[in-house]
Amino acid sequence: MKYTKLGNSDLNISRVCMGCMGFGEAGNGQHGWTIDESHSREIIKKGLELGVNFFDTAIAYQSGTSERTRRKRGICKICIGAGAP
């Protein structure tokens, strides 16, 4: 895995970012193609094994269930987000 600095910080993040919009509860959000927690965990685990340490998540994804799933697993030490108007 290749890494890069996050902005002007000392944080090294993977150049590959795993998008988490499709993780969470399918019945609780914008779309029905969401992957449940068990399958999400397998995908995230594989990403971590391959060196991914940069995850795109937001409280808006699947009405917050994506972020709660990721947070329960302790995947992210630092999360940066922006609120929607």
Say yes or no to pLDDT of 79 above 60.
Answer: no
> Hey, which residues are catalytic here?
61
For 30, half-sphere exposure in the C-beta direction (CA atoms, 13 angstrom radius) is 10
pLDDT in tens, 16-39: 988 877 777 666 667 777 787 788
pTM: 0.71
Burial class (CB in 10 A: 0-12, 13-18, 19+), 42: exposed
7: left (phi over 0), alpha (psi -120 to 50) or beta: left
Domain regions of the chain by residue span: 3-72
Residue 41's pLDDT band, with cuts at 50, 70 and 90, is confident
What are the backbone dihedrals phi and psi of residue 37, each rounded to the nearest 5 degrees, phi first? -60, -40
What are the backbone dihedrals phi and psi of residue 58, each rounded to the nearest 5 degrees, phi first? -155, 150
Q: Is the dihedral of CA 45, 75, 71, 55 positive or negative?
A: negative
The pLDDT score that the predictor gives to residue 85 is 47
pLDDT in tens, 65-78: 665 655 555 555 55
* Closest alpha carbon to 56 in 31, 84, 22: 22
